[in-house]
Each structure stands twice: as structure tokens, then as C-alpha cells.
Structure 1
Amino acid sequence: MALRPYQQAAETAVLQEWEGENKKTLLVLPTGTGKTIVFAKITEDRVRVGERVLIMAHREELLKQAADKIEKATGLKSAVEKAEQSCKGSWYRVVVGSVQTLTRDKRLKQFSRNFFDTIIIDEAHHSVSDSYQHVLQYFDGAKVLGVTATPDRSDMRNLGTYYNSLAYEYSLPQAIKDGYLSKIVAQTIPLTIDISGVGFSAGDYKMGELGTALDPYLAQIAQEMLTYCADRKTVVFLPLVKTSQKFCELLNQVGFNAAEVNGNSDDREQVLQDFDAGKYNVLCNSMLLTEGWDCPSVDCVIVLRATKSRSLYSQMVGRGTRLYPGKDHVLLLDFLWNTEKHELCRPACLIAESEDVAAKMTEKLNESGKPEDLEVLEQEASEDVVSDREAALADKLAAMKKRKRRLVDPLQFEMSIQAEDLSGYVPSFGWEMGPATKKQLEALEKFGIFGDEIENAGKAKLILDKLIKRKESGLATPRQIRLLESRGFQHVGTWTFAAATKLIGRIAARGWRIPSDIKPAEYIPEA
């Protein structure tokens, strides 16, 4: 099976991490972009060099899916380590194993500590739990790959306590731009749902209290869905099984063909097949379908299980982002959640790289009252945030530009090149949180950046990566940026090196006076 370009890049990046010093690394791929195919190919590579590979997951569906995809993509069959099934005595070099089974000492200690050379963990955001760590610490000599969909910052910080690096990340917006996932269109429904009294448990909203708070609004939500979902194939996520069952009944009462599935449904497989075939147009569930279930024809998602976990939110919405013939986009219906917990995930969280942009997107979406393409909305919100930030920092930047320092202040550099990922950067891994190294500071100074004000090694690396890429792309240097912006020119960071050099040459030739035909605040260099 031929890999897509980003899948090939992901495989290469992981293998490079392992060849270096990072034996525990992460791979981030959004739902629907073929993460199982990628780790199947990585598995094949390891088997080719004689290694034994363990694929670990916490649900039967994920284990079966992994075994099926590995065989389909590589021809390799897998042994199973789950309940009464064991891989002991098998000739297969690939084992799919249940963490619930392997974490039991009686089962675990049947293996030598070096039995597996490589361990791959599907849905890796679970891997910092005690059960996974018990297994990982036992096979502590193995290389480890954790695979997950887009995580939020708290997830990355948690994962950073075990993993040493992020080998590769393919973002949801990039997957949509590249045409591998459906674009997401969000619509805010003018219905305020009050969950301000719902408490927290294990870092997220309490399911029981959330179900109770949601209950009075279910009938009205069902009516609202008639306006937006009548001709769509919709999946609804709810906090409790009883809430899901009640909502399913209400939907059928208003005219939908709705079905409900949960972990205790005897006919679960049949219901899912019937939904896929079009017998039902709405499927209600209580968190059952967040992982390991694919139905590409879904073109509407409703999240009534409020969450502050971006990874969980992404998984739910991801049930509708797969491509399907005749499907132009997935509609994401959102409500006006009344909550004092500002961490609540909304559609903007899917693609916004900073909290400022997410807040601006949510504000625009709430004001719009009509469907909005999230990519377009993100672009508009980013421009607004940049403008707001520039206005707020104008005095500070003006002071920086007047400094007689030989090197360029990193904040001025960030603002000039409009680097949202720099201004919103938060370190995840332990090495990122430490101070910038001497080698990094020396490299920054060579580029003309004053490194003493850079908060940590992670940000220093991010700035250096940008500087190297800018040099390769022929863009203006930090010193050119500072010189020209100190004379009133705007956004010199977006100029080419050649354009900046040409203008500086003209100014220098006039005794460092700006030519009379140029107005710095309005000047745009020729392409």
C-alpha cells in the first residue's frame, strides 16, 4: 500500500528519532488521516530487521482494527495477547495486546523483559496512565512510539513526562487544505445551555452532572435539529447512556429515524451497519464512538458532551471529517454554552493555534448566525488578533526600536514576521522547559537575535528553525527588519532579503535619509 506524502514523512521522522537518542517518541495525526496505516508500515520496517513488535491499545475494536490494517497494508499477521488468547509459542513477529491483560503481573512476567524490541501505542494520550506505565516500565529497553490525534496543551505536557520528543505532527487544517479531510463548517445554534453548575472530575466535566444539566434542553435541541439536520447523516455525542437513550426517543418523536448505541447494546454491530447503509439518519451515543469507528458518509456532528479536552473534542468531530463521494463538508452544530469554565472546547479549538485566535473565532461565530467555514474564520480571526496585538504592543515596540543594542529583540522579530506559533508557544517536553543552551544562544546571536530574553530552550529551537527556514527562503534578516522598522516601514519580516537589501542600499546612498518618493508606513516592496 503506497503511503501519502505526509504518511511517508511521518514514518521517516519516527525512524530517525529512534536512530538518534529519542527512543520514546510521539506521532500526531488527526482522525481520518491514516495513523494506523503509518504505524503498520513502521511495524513492517521493524519486522524486516528482525525485531518483535507489540501494538498496545485499551479497546478490542482498536486491537482488531490494528491487526486488520497491518495485514492489509503489509501482509503481516498478528498474534493476540488478550483474555484467553496468548502470543506465547507463536511464530508471528507482531503482537496486538490489550493493556488490561498485559498489566496483570501474572501475564506480564511470562515474558522476558527484552521480549519486545518495539512497542507502539494506539491512542497514546492514554499511555501515561498507571496500567500502560506498568507495562512500559517492564519492557523498559524497547523503543516506544505513541500515536494520537491532535492533543491539547495539557495532554502534551502530560505526554511529555514520558516521551522525549514529537517526531512528526500533521495538523487538521493542513489535512483539510491538502484535500485529505472534509472542510468543517460550524453553525452556532441560538440556544443557551447552562452548565455553569457542573463540577469537574479527573480534569473534565462530571458526566453525571452534565447529563442532569443537559436534560431540560433535549426537547428543544431535537426541534432545532429539524432546521439543520433533516437532510443530513448525523452523529450526536452525549454524556450518559440514559441521556443518549432519552434523546434518541425525542428525535424519533419529532420525525427523525434515530438509533442509539452503547457499550451494553447486544445489536451494536447491526445498528452501526444499518446506520452506515442509511436506515437511520441520526445515531446517538454516549462516548462509545470516539475511537475506532469509521463511517465516512457522516456529514453532521453534534457534541452535547461538553469537554475541555481538545483531543477528545477532535476525536468526536473527527467522526465526520472523512471524505465521501458527494460530501462537500461536515456541519458542526454548536450551542451557546453558559459556563464559568473557560476551558470548554468549541469549534474554534479544532484549528486555532492560540487562545486569542480561538476566542476571536468563537466571538465571530456567535455573532454570525450562519454557517461559517472554520478555515476562513480562522484567517479572519488571526488577522484581527494580529491587529489587536500590534496596537497593544505599539508603545513597547517603539521603545525597542529606539534601543541602541546591536542585536534584535525576539519580540520585535516575532511581531514583524507575524509568527502566531511563536507568540502562542507553550513548552511540552522537559527539555523544552529548561533555559536556552549556550549553543542555541550563540546560533541566535549569529542570526542577529538577542537570546537573553528567550524564555526556554523550546522557544529558542522554534526561533532558530524559523530563522534557518527564512534564510533558505530568501527572506529579510532580523537586522534588516530592525533597521527598516526603526525608520517606520511596516511588516518588514514579510519582505524578501533582496527587497530589503535594495531599499537599505537606496537609503544608505542618500546618507541614511529616506528617499522623498517613499512613505514608510505605506511602502510595499515590489514582488
Structure 2
Amino acid sequence: MIWRYWATRHLIEELIRIDPDLYSDLEEIIPSLRGEEFDPTELSSKENLVRILMSFTDSTYFEKKDNMRRCLERLPPLVQSGLVRALIDNGYFVKGTSFEDTTEKILKMKWNFRNIGFCRVFQEFFELPNHFLPPEKKSASPFVDIYPLSTENNLIINRPFKNLLDFQVQVYSDAMKKMNVDRSRFVMQMPTGSGKTRTTMEVISNHLKSHPEGSIVIWMAHTEELCEQSFECFIEVWQHLANKPLKAVRFWGKQPLPSAYDKSMFIVGGFSKIMAALRKDPGAFDHLSDRIGLIVIDEAHRAVAPRTKEAIISLTGDNTHVIGLTATPGRTDYDETEEMAEFFFESKVNITTDTGESEIKMLKRRGVLAEIDYIPIESPLDIQLTASQKRYLEEKFDFPSGLLKTVASSNVRNIEIMKKLLYSCQEIDKRILFFSCSVKHSRFIMALLQYHGIGAVHVDGNTSRSRREDSIRRFKDGDIQVLCNYGVLTTGFDAPNTDEVFISRPTQSVVLYSQMVGRGLRGPTIGGTPRCRIVEVRDNITGFAPDQT
């Protein structure tokens, strides 16, 4: 480990650089987790300081030149010579005329995937964990051409066609009846895990098949994960059903504005990307608008936000259908639920049952949804909302970030969280999805898990797409046991074999809560697990307005 060559004071300085409160927090938390096994000298020993630093250092650490410089300048000359030999053996000639000159030559080597050979030699020489390696940055094509299957045109995504289950066929049939009405708008409501996206793709495919070549469908979603998931799901379905050439177009991230191709088109656009294009040029989509026959809004409640509504109206032509997708009937605010119903013409399709049992009960009985084992953790916190926090809750229907950070900073609360996580991680091959209170909180819990020898990673909205994809892949493959996140994996994330969803974030949002819980709901019938644990930290937060209790 590269930090083993540092003096103790340098190790402590580096920990303080990461977080001024980190060391004092660990002095309170780790003895409580260790119990009688705790050695009072554990935290202060050089060996454990190195271990702590390795656990709490961000995966991008070596991308920053100042960090790399400190590491290289503190190497003993003999160790630097060994590193130089290893690099030269792999084709990297970095030997200088002196220790300082060699350090500067190594510093000129970029820590990125294009230089992955150098990074691997460095990582292996110092026995660093793999998560420090830079992930590959994949650039997605702006579009994919899809042709009807033939001897010349093979499957783009090599997966067999999956027929809809009977309850999905029922929703599809009801939706198609709505589509027979000119300029129809309606909501498709299906619980998370019941195949909402897959069923909608069948509706879209039918629409494109039955309309002339050149027809356009636009799918709007709010995260890159949701956009890519929808894009791939459409290709997977359309490639089997296609009766005409079609261009599937990506319009999120750094992708360009779609051109007016003469083929039929399926365009997946990010909300922010579409709205930014319209702000820059209100007529940005005029070259397509008269061909747009269907707009699908992933998460229907977003359609009533003023800017989103304006964007939808701008894209709507003379005979454009609009479908809103949702897993929940509405948001917690009555007026907004009414506004959403009005926007979608008070029209909805959902799963119906002949037996009179609820759709959730039916889906659980058939193994489409997993059975839930709910485990509450009573938090030691008592929090009285301030006047400004009450106002925020009344306006946004959720707690402000400042309160979440306060909750996240409680060491007593984090001790209880870690005790439960460490207990769950004793079960081999169990995968846990952890929802944190803040970015800092997610990183902190991840690092504590790593310190205790548990495979864990962290992702948030600022994590690069390539690193985020790599972390999610490793979680799905079982290479890591706990995936910690803040604000990014409530939607557009599909890991059917998730065994436990751990919700440490307090929320009053029905939509957000159902999205977090929904990550573990996929049952064995659709490749998930028979049961899933939902662990929730319950804080005593008081001071709600009467209509929110």
C-alpha cells in the first residue's frame, strides 16, 4: 500500500484533508462497533491509519496531481527504483537523472483509461484496490438503425423475445383502446417491478407499426440511467416486432439535437436536455413536431412541473397522444394530483383483477413481486422542525437537505446503521442497496464498510457515468456486497437480485419512498428474489403541519 511509507503525522494530515471531523468521528464509532474486541491503540497505530486512509480515500484520488505528488515524494528511494523497474518492464520509460527528476517524469503520466497500462502497473505494484483504477469511458452512438429481421439483419441485442404476461396484456389492451381516440392523454399505472416499461414498449411498437413511415415517438425521462434503460428496452422489443426501418435516437448528456431523418424515429430525451434546447431555441423541434404522434413521460407526476409542461406542449402536434407512466396513484399534494389528473384528461389504465384482490397481492402471489420483510430501526434522534423547515416541507413535500445533513452527522445513529449492515453482510452473497442522507453520508458508510473488510462502493450525481456504470456492474455481478448511493438509484436502476434495501434517508415523499422500496420488489417470476428485506431508519421528527401527520 503506497501510504505505508508515510510518517504517522502525514497520515493524520491526509485524513484531516479528506474531512476535518473524520478522525474524531471514527474515535467514537469504531469502539462501539468493535465492543470488547476493540484495542484502544487500534486507531492510532500506523498500520490502521493506512487502512483507514485506504478505506476513506475516494476512487478518483490518483487522478488529482497533488495527491499523486505527495505519494511519490514520500517514497523511499529504493521503492521508487522498484516502481521504475516495473514501469520500464511494461514499456514506460520514466527513469530520470535524480529522485526528483524521476518523480516529475512519473507525474507526467495521466491517470485515465487511455493510460490504463500505466495505471495497472502502479496499482499492482502498490497493491491498491481495483476501484482506484480509472473506468473505461464509453461514448454511445447518437442513434441506432434498426431494420426488420432478415438473413441480412440480425438482432442488435441478442435476447429472445419475451411475451407479455396476462396482466400486462390487459394493461396493453386497455392502453390501445385509449390510443384509438384522437389526441388522447392518459396515465399508465403499474407497480414498480411489474413490467411498466416493457408493457409501454409494446404500446409504442404497435403505434409505430400501424402508422406511416416517418412517424416519431418521444420518450422523456429525467436521468441518464432511465434514458439508457428505456433506449435499450425499446431496441430489445422493436427488433423483434419491426415492420419498417427505424432510427432509435439518444438525446441526453452530450448528444446532439436529432436531425430530421426520413425514417420513423424513437427519440429518448432527458427532461433537462429537451428544456435546455427549447430555452436556446423555442423552435428547436419544429422540424419534427408535425411527425410526433406519441410522447411518453416517464414518471407522470413530472409532467405538471411548469417548465416540463411547456416542453411537452411545445413538442405536441395536431394529433399527438401523451402517456404518463407512474408506479403510484399520485403525489402527496392533493392539488398537484388533481393537476396531473387534469393534464392527462382524468384518464388512466391500470392492472385489474377478476378476483377482487389488490394488484399488489395478486403480483406477490404470482411471484412477480417479492415478499417484503420489513425491519425498522428506531433512531435515537429527536428533531423538532424549525419554521423554515416546515415551510420547505409544505412546499416541496420532503425534508430540506440541511436537515438530512444533520441527521447524517449523528454518530449514534450511524453506529446503529453500521451494526445492522455488518450483521446483514455476514450472510454470504447477499447484496444490499443503501440509500443515504447525503453524498458525504454515503461515502462515510461505504468507507466504514471497507474498513471492516466489506466490498462496498459509492455513487452519486457527480460520479462520472463510466465509474457509475462500472460500480453498478460490479454490484450486479456480485463483486461487491453493498452499493451506497445518494440521489441517483431511485429510478433507472435494475438489479433484480437485490436482497436488502436499506433506507437511512428520512422522507415524506410517497413517490421517493416507493421508488427506493421498489428497487427490491422484483420477484422470482421475472428473475428477482422470493423475498427482500426493507430496512428503514425511523427518526422521531416532529413539528409537521396537521395535514401532513
Q: Decide: shared fold, TM above 0.5.
A: yes
Query: Counterpart of 1:6 in 2: which secondary structure?
Result: helix
1:192 is aligned, of 380, 383, 399, to 380
Cα distance in 1 between the residues matched to 2:288 and 2:225: 27
Is 1:334 aligned to 2:529, yes or no? no
Q: Which AA in structure 2 matches 1:226?
A: L
Structure-2 residue corresponding to 1:54: 218
Q: For 2:339 and 2:445, how far apart are their aligned partners in 1? A: 35
Equivalent position to 1:98, from 260, 270, 276: 270
Is residue 290–residue 319 contact of structure 1 (8 Å, CA) maintained in 2? yes
**1:11 corresponding residue in structure 2:** 172
The within-5 A match list for 1:244-283 is 244-266=442-464, 267-283=467-483
Cα gap change, 1:8 to 1:143, in 2 (>3 Å): same
Residues 417-432 of structure 1 aligned to structure 2 (within 5 Å): none
SS in 2 for 1:111: helix
More RCO (CA 8 Å, sep 6+): 2
Contact 1:193 1:335 in 2 (8 A): no
Whole-Å Cα distance in 2 between the matches of residues 22 and 109 of structure 1? 19
Mapping 1:91-240, distance limit 5 Å: 91-103=263-275, 104-105=277-278, 106=281, 108-111=284-287, 113-138=289-314, 139=316, 141=318, 142-150=320-328, 151-154=330-333, 156-170=337-351, 171-197=359-385, 199=389, 200=392, 202-216=396-410, 217-231=413-427, 232-240=430-438
How far apart in 1 are the matches of 2:284 and 2:415? 50
User: Which residues of structure 2 form unaligned runs of 5+?
Assistant: 1-161, 352-358
SS at match of 1:160: helix
**SS at 1:108's partner residue?**
coil
Most deviating of 18-27 and 256-265? 18-27
CA pair 341-30 structure 1, distance change in 2 beyond 3 A: farther
8 Å CA contact retained: 1:99, 1:131: no
Question: In structure 2, how many angstroms separate the alpha carbons of the residues matched to 1:181 and 1:16?
Answer: 27
Change (3 A) 1:327 1:98: closer
Distance 2:532 2:185 in 1: 35
1:286 lines up with 2:286 in the alignment: no
**Deviation of 1:13 (Å):** 1.3
Code of the residue aligned with 1:114 in structure 2: it is D
Q: Cα deviations across residues 396-417 of structure 1 (Å, max 9, x unaligned)?
A: xxxxxxxxxxxxxxxxxxxxxx
- Equivalent position amino acid for 2:477 in 1: A
Tell me the TM-score normalised to structure 1 length: 0.61
CA 1:214–1:281 in 2, change beyond 3 Å: closer, same or farther? same
In structure 2, C-alpha distance between the alignment counterparts of 1:159 and 1:193, rounded to whole Å: 36
- The whole-number CA distance in structure 1 between the counterparts of 2:436 and 2:545 is 18
The alignment of Structure 1 onto Structure 2 pairs a total of residues equal to 346
User: Contact 2:497–2:528 (CA<8 Å) still a contact in 1?
Assistant: no
* 89 and 327 in structure 1: CA distance in 2 versus 1, 3 angstrom threshold: closer
Aligned in 2, Cα 1:112/1:235: closer, same or farther, shift over 3 Å? closer
The answer on whether the counterparts of 1:108 and 1:135 sit within 8 Å (CA) in structure 2 is: no
**Residues 308 and 343 of structure 1 are in contact (CA less than 8 Å); yes or no, is this contact kept in structure 2?**
no
What amino acid is the match of 1:185?
D
Partner of 1:68: 232
For the residues of structure 2 that align with 1:25 and 1:322, how far apart are their CA atoms?
25
Residue 33 of structure 1 is matched in structure 2 by 194
2:543 & 2:317 partners in 1: Cα distance?
Answer: 39
Q: Once the 2 structures are TM-superposed, how far is the Cα of residue 58 of structure 1 from its aligned partner?
A: 1.9
Distance 1:294 1:84, change over 3 A: closer
CA, structure 1 residues 14+302, in 2 after alignment: closer, same or farther (shift >3 Å)?
Answer: same
Aligned equivalents of 1:113 and 1:192: distance in 2? 55
- After the TM superposition, which residues 485-524 of structure 1 pair with which residues of structure 2 at under 5 Å, given as runs? none
Partner SS, residue 446 of structure 2: helix
Distance in 2 between the 1:301 and 1:124 partners?
24
AA aligned opposite 1:270: D
Inter-partner Cα distance in structure 2 for 1:219 and 1:14: 49
Answer whether contact 2:505 2:537 (CA < 8 A) is retained: no
Q: Following TM superposition, where does structure 1 have runs of at least 4 consecutive aligned residues deviating by more than 6 angstroms?
A: none
The superposition leaves residues 81-118 of structure 1 with CA deviations (integer Å, 9 ceiling, x where unpaired) of 34442332321332222222322331634335433111
**Do 1:17 and 1:167's aligned partners in 2 also have CA atoms closer than 8 Å?**
no
Q: Deviations over 1:300-352 (max 9, x none)?
A: 111112111112111111111113579330011123320226699xxxxxxxx
Shift of 1:174: 3.4
| SS of structure 2 residue aligned to 1:283 | strand
Give per-residue Cα distances to partners, 1:393-437, cap 9 Å, x unaligned: xxxxxxxxxxxxxxxxxxxxxxxxxxxxxxxxxxxxxxxxxxxxx
2: CA distance, partners of 1:301 / 1:289: 11
Alpha-carbon deviations, 1:268-309, whole Å to 9, x = none? Answer: 211111111222211110021011111111111111121111
**In structure 1, distance between residues paired with 2:251 and 2:373:** 42
Rate the CA distance shift 1:224–1:19 in 2: closer, same or farther, 3 A.
same
- 2:238 alignment partner AA: T
Using the TM superposition, give the Cα deviation of residue 263 of structure 1 relative to its aligned residue in structure 2, in angstroms.
2.1
Task: Note if 1:88 corresponds to 2:235.
Answer: no
SS of 1:66's partner is helix
Q: Secondary structure at the match of 2:296?
A: strand
State the distance in 1 between where 2:503 and 2:179 align: 38
When the two structures are superposed, what TM-score results if normalisation uses the length of structure 2? Answer: 0.58
Structure 1 residues 153 and 190: alpha-carbon distance in aligned structure 2, compared to 1, 3 A threshold: closer
The 2-side partners of 1:73 and 1:268 are apart by 26
CA distance in 1: counterparts of 2:226 and 2:296, whole angstroms: 12
Bigger mean CA deviation after superposition, 15-24 or 31-40: 15-24
User: Structure 1 regions of 5+ residues with no counterpart?
Assistant: 345-354, 360-527
Q: CA deviation at 1:180?
A: 0.5
Q: What are the superposed Cα offsets for residues 416-469 of structure 1, whole Å, 9 maximum, x if unpaired?
A: xxxxxxxxxxxxxxxxxxxxxxxxxxxxxxxxxxxxxxxxxxxxxxxxxxxxxx
Q: 1:340 to 1:233 in 2, by over 3 A?
A: same
Shift of 1:251: 2.6
Residue 318 of structure 1 is matched in structure 2 by 518
